[in-house]
């Protein structure tokens, strides 16, 4: 069964390159996770997130006219952080959450 844009699929990582990861989605069906679709944060080394042989859940984000399948790892696997800031009281909230942002990034740089 050929995937469609928006589908959630499971695939096996078959190769890693500087620009992304190749994924086998089924018999003779392959896709690419571009490095920008691995995390919401800067990705220095894709192997910090995925390894060859990993089976991962992915979202199909594009299929071009030649049939190339673009996949997103971060759409399903990266926890997005959310900080509530009350903007009506000026910059004080920024001052109070900045330390937490920095601490969170130091403790969990890939989330």
Domain ranges of the chain: 8-77, 80-111
CATH annotation of 8-77:
2.40.50.140
**pLDDT tens by residue, 7-31:** 999 999 999 999 999 999 998 899 9
Q: Which helix (H) or strand (E) holds 20?
A: strand 20-26
> Which is more confidently placed, 49 or 79?
49
**pLDDT tens by residue, 88-107:** 555 556 666 677 777 776 66
- Three-state secondary structure string covering 82-98: CCCCCHHHCCHHHHHHH
The predicted pLDDT at position 85 comes to 47
Determine whether 54 is exposed, middle or buried from the number of CB atoms within 10 Å of its CB (0-12, 13-18, 19+).
Answer: middle
Beta pairing class for 69-72 and 29-34: parallel
The predicted pLDDT at position 77 comes to 79
pLDDT at 32 over 70: yes
């Amino acid at each position: 069964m050929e995937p469609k844009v928006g589908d959630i699929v499971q695939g096996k990582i078959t190769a890693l390159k500087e620009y992304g990861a190749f994924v086998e989605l089924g018999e003779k069906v392959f896709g690419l996770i571009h490095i920008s679709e691995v995390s919401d944060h800067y990705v220095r080394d894709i192997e910090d997130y995925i390894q060859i042989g990993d089976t991962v859940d992915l979202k199909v984000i594009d299929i071009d006219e030649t049939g190339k399948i673009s996949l997103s790892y971060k759409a399903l696997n990266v926890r997005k952080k959310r900080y509530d800031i009350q903007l009506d009281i000026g910059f004080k909230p920024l001052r109070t959450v900045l330390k937490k942002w920095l601490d969170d990034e130091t403790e969990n740089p890939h989330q």
